[in-house]
Each structure stands twice: as structure tokens, then as C-alpha cells.
Structure 1
Amino acid sequence: MKQFRVEEDFWKLFPEAQLHLVVVKGINNHKPQDERYLIDLLKDGKEAAKGYLTEEVFSQNSVIKEWREAFSTFKTKKGARSSIEALLKRVDQGRDFQPINSLVDIYNSISLTYALPCGGEDLQSIEGDLYLGVAAGGESFLPLGAESDAPALPGEIIYGDEKGAVCRCWNWREAQRTMLKEETTDAVLVIESINPEQHQRADKAVKELKRLVDVYFETESHIEKIAKPSTSVSL
């Protein structure tokens, strides 16, 4: 059984961080999509997200400020931002969200609704165990939509496995190798929070994420939580 571990060098940078995981196995992501349902989920998420954009200047909204400050504490690729900033930027610009695939659409709707970074990995594509920690530098990484390797930088926060990085700059960019696809049957979905106010939202978000996944895929997922001093859970 695969393990997911959080390394000590991550806790040194973010001792208050928490990770909420939903682990789901044996699903059929080929299931005919109820596109209207998924569009409505994303639409509702977009409407909820507007409540976090109360400042006229986008960068002054608390969610944006908190994650930009977090990203300033470790080495990042120039221009890298948190995944929740990317989603909220689309909301701020009045852009709509279109379905990608069922798992991604569901976690994006949760990310928008609770203003928290959410992501997911295909467990069958993970080589060995999955970890979150500080990169040594040079970990192989083929970004989503790219054709050439873009290795991690020394000191960068990454999710990784035995083969390389699977998500760079903490939650900025996903790897093609482990991304959620229609062929995905086993997945881990991750919600990240970095302060007490975000933790309260994450506690609610992970329960709603589990509910949506279980209802949509007619399955029974399970929740795991990692907070210091915990270091690992089974996937």
C-alpha cells in the first residue's frame, strides 16, 4: 500500500499547515458525465468565490495575500502562484468554468466554494510513495500541456515520488504523468490550508468533497488529515 508523507523540511517552513485528503478507489471516471450537473457545480462555486473578493484591488484580498506570503518563503519559478489564486483570478475577470473531467470539476468546485487550493493525483501513476517536501533540485517534471522537462528548483516545495516531481511550487502546476484522467480509477484529492481560519474552512470542505465524490461515483471514499507532528498516512 502506498504511503503519503510530509517531510520535516516542509513543517519547518509551515508548522501550522494542514492537509485534508480524500482517498477514492475503484471509480469509473469514464462514467458518462452529467455535464449540466458539473457546469452547475462550477457555477455555484464561482458565485461562492465572489464572497472572498471583497477588495477592489485583487492582490489585497486576504486569500491572495495569505498565499502570496506563503509562496514568498520558498524558492519558486518566476510568476508561480497558488492554484487558488489562479481560480479566483478567473472569477475576478468574470470568466466561466467549463468541465474538464468529473474528478477535476468536483474538486475545482470545492476549491472555489471554500477558497482553498485543491488538487489530485492518479494513485496508479505514482511511483512508490507520494511526499510533500523541499526539492533538492533537478527532480524531473513534465508540466501539463508541455513537451519538455522542467525540473524542480533547489529549495522549491514539491509533491514528488520516486520518479520525480508531480506538482511544482507546492500547488502551482500539475505533472502530465500523474494528472487525473478519464482512465483514473484510484485517486487522492488534497485540500491545503495554512492558518486557523483556513483550517475551519478546510474541515467543512473535505466533508463536502467526500460527499460529492461518493454520490457522483456511487462509492465510499475515506478522509485522512495530516497536521504537525503527523508525518504520513496510508493511501
Structure 2
Amino acid sequence: MTSLESFLAGAAVDDAVYELRPDYRALLVAVDGIEPGSGDAAGEALLRDAENAAAGLVSQAAVEELPHIAAWREAYRAFGTKPQRTRNSLEALTRRAATGLPRVNGLTDVYNAVSVRHQVPVGGEDLARYAGSPRLVRASGDETFDTTADGETVIEHPEAGEVVWCDDDGVTCRRWNWRQGRRTQLTPETTSALFIFDALAPMTDEALMAAADDLLTHVRRLGPDVRSVSRLFTRPTA
């Protein structure tokens, strides 16, 4: 197996997560061959399209009532997090679209735009900075998470029972899809990346795959030798 296949072969979603939400699915997309670079005109157009799409959605319903956002608010409540204080990444971006989505770097701009356009939480990580493969678990509370506070690097610990993505060195994303750590964040120098799509009902598998296909369409323009490998996680059947 090549490195991308090996990386995804070691990924896992713990049974305790499926016990919390049996309808949960994770689509992991590993990509390499990306040429380093910052945002460009195509990325800017994609962000503007996402901003317009969000405006159309919120003209018909409150953000918290949009179907997939509402589902994620319920998922957050299930492990003891107040969604009005800790917003999942999809809700945070959809709300922010009204005043303009952030412009960060080429890869981050693409996945943020795809997240809003397809109404699915998407995370992006620098695959080369991983220690081992990604795992989605319910935290013990002892794990480490590197973030910033008042401009300074700090180490936090997730709450016991919190749903977190992690690798061998610690937590890479807290509260399922709330906040990503600094260690594995995408930068303009990133050449290999992991994208994580988090789905709950009522989002269908077909809609989930369409979101990933859209992302890959835009990522492939970031290098002539871009290639990808995907893996879908669903609740194991008895």
C-alpha cells in the first residue's frame, strides 16, 4: 500500500461514538501532490459563491433551524455541550457568511466554501504533521490539545466524554468539529492534506459524496499531480 492508503487504513471511529449517534458517518479524504501556495482568484470566486448560497438559505429559515445544523446541535447536547455557546464548524461558518467568510489560504478557503455550499462540517489537516492515523473517540480528559489564548500557545485538555479527533500525539480537533489544533493546521506550505466530512441524518450518503467530489474538483487544480484516497466510516452492522 502507498502512504495515503496506509494512513487511512489505520483510521478508526470508536464504537462509543456510534452509540451516541448511530446515524453518524465520517468520510475521510487524504490528498497529496498539492503545490504550496496561498489563495487565488478561483478560491475567491468559490468563497463568494458559498456566501451567496448561505444568504439564500438563511432567507428561508433561521441558521439554527437549517436541517444539518439542527442535527449537529442535538449531537452536541448529547455529550454535554451547549450548542449556543459552542457552535459546530458548519453553523459558525454559515453565520459568518453574512459578513464574509474568512480568507485564510488556498486549501482552507476551498474546504470552508465546500462546507457552506453543501451544508456539512468539513475539517482540513496537514497530513504530514500527523503522528499515526486519525481516530474519533470519546475523550478520557487526559489528552492534550494545543491551541492559542490571547496570542499565546496553550495546552488544554478535553472534557471527559467529549467527542474528539486525535492521533498518537494528542487531540487534533475538539468537540467533534468545533475547533482544530495548531499542530496539524493547514498552511500555504502544505503539500498533503486530510479532509474530514462529518454527516448526520438527514444528510444522505449521496449528498456526502457529492460534497467530497466538489472539494476534490477544486483541490485538483492546486497541482498537476494531485491524487486522493477516500474512506467512508459507518456504524458496523451486527
- Normalised by the shorter chain, which TM-score bucket? 0.7 to 0.9
Alpha-carbon distance change, 41 to 80 in structure 1, aligned in 2, over 3 angstroms: same
CA drift of 1:54 comes to 4.3
Of stretches 199-208 and 186-195 in structure 1, the one that deviates more from structure 2 is 199-208
Q: 1:175 and 1:6, CA in 2 relative to 1: closer, same or farther beyond 3 A?
A: same
CA positional deviation for 1:183: 2.3
User: Partners in 2 of 1:165 and 1:195 — Cα distance?
Assistant: 26
Check the 8 A contact 2:68/2:200 in 1, yes or no: no
Measured after TM superposition, the shift of residue 168 of structure 1 is: 0.2
Gap runs ≥5 in structure 2 = 1-5
**Shift in Å, 1:59:** 2.7
- Distance in 2 (alpha carbons) for counterparts of 1:58 and 1:115: 11
Does residue 112 in structure 1 map to residue 119 in structure 2? no
Whether the 8 Å contact between 1:42 and 1:109 is mirrored in structure 2 is yes
CA distance in 2, matches of 1:34, 1:154: 38
Computed over aligned residues only, the root mean square deviation of the Cα atoms, in angstroms, reads: 2.0
Give the whole-Å Cα distance in 2 for the aligned partners of 1:195 and 1:175. 27
Q: 1:225 pairs with 194, 210, 232, which one?
A: 232
**Which among 130, 135, 155 is matched to residue 131 of structure 1?**
135
How much does 1:14 deviate? 1.5
1:213 Cα deviation from its structure 2 partner? 1.0
- Looking at structure 1, the residues matched to 201 and 40 of structure 2 have their Cα atoms a distance apart, in angstroms, of 35
2:58 to 45, 53, 75: 53
Are the aligned partners of 1:22 and 1:190 in contact in 2 as well (CA < 8 Å)?
Answer: yes
In 1, Cα distance between equivalents of 2:113 and 2:64: 22
SS of 2:153's partner is coil
CA contact (8 A) 1:75 1:154 kept: no
Q: For residue 229 of structure 1, what is the amino acid of its counterpart? A: P
Q: What TM-score comes out, normalization by structure 2 length? A: 0.87
CA distance in 2, matches of 1:137, 1:25: 33
2:147 aligns to what? 143
SS at match of 1:154: coil
- When residues 129 and 43 of structure 1 are mapped into structure 2, their CA distance, relative to the original with a 3 A threshold, is same
Question: CA 1:98–1:152 in structure 2 vs 1: closer, same or farther (change >3 Å)?
Answer: closer
Normalising by structure 1, what TM-score? 0.88
Alignment partners' CA distance in 2, 1:36 and 1:169: 33
Q: CA deviation at 1:77?
A: 7.6
Match of 1:67 among 49, 68, 72: 72
Q: Structure 1 70/146 Cα, relative in aligned 2: closer, same or farther at 3 Å?
A: farther
Contact in 2 for aligned 1:21/1:188 (Cα 8 Å):
yes
The correspondence of residues 84-99 of structure 1 with structure 2, limited to 5 A, is: 84-91=90-97, 94-99=98-103
* Distance in 1 separating the partners of 2:132 and 2:229: 21
Question: Aligned partners of 2:56, 2:204: CA distance in 1, in Å?
Answer: 15
Which ranges of structure 1 fall in alignment gaps of 5 or more residues? 231-235
Counterpart CA distance in 1 for 2:152 and 2:68 is: 29
Question: Match for 1:212 among 189, 214, 218?
Answer: 218
- Correspondence for 1:157: 163
Secondary structure of 2:132's partner?
coil
Contact 1:142–1:176 (CA under 8 A) maintained in structure 2: yes
- 1:182 deviates by 1.9
Aligned position for 1:186: 192
Hey, what does 2:23 align to over in structure 1?
16
Measured after TM superposition, the shift of residue 198 of structure 1 is 4.5
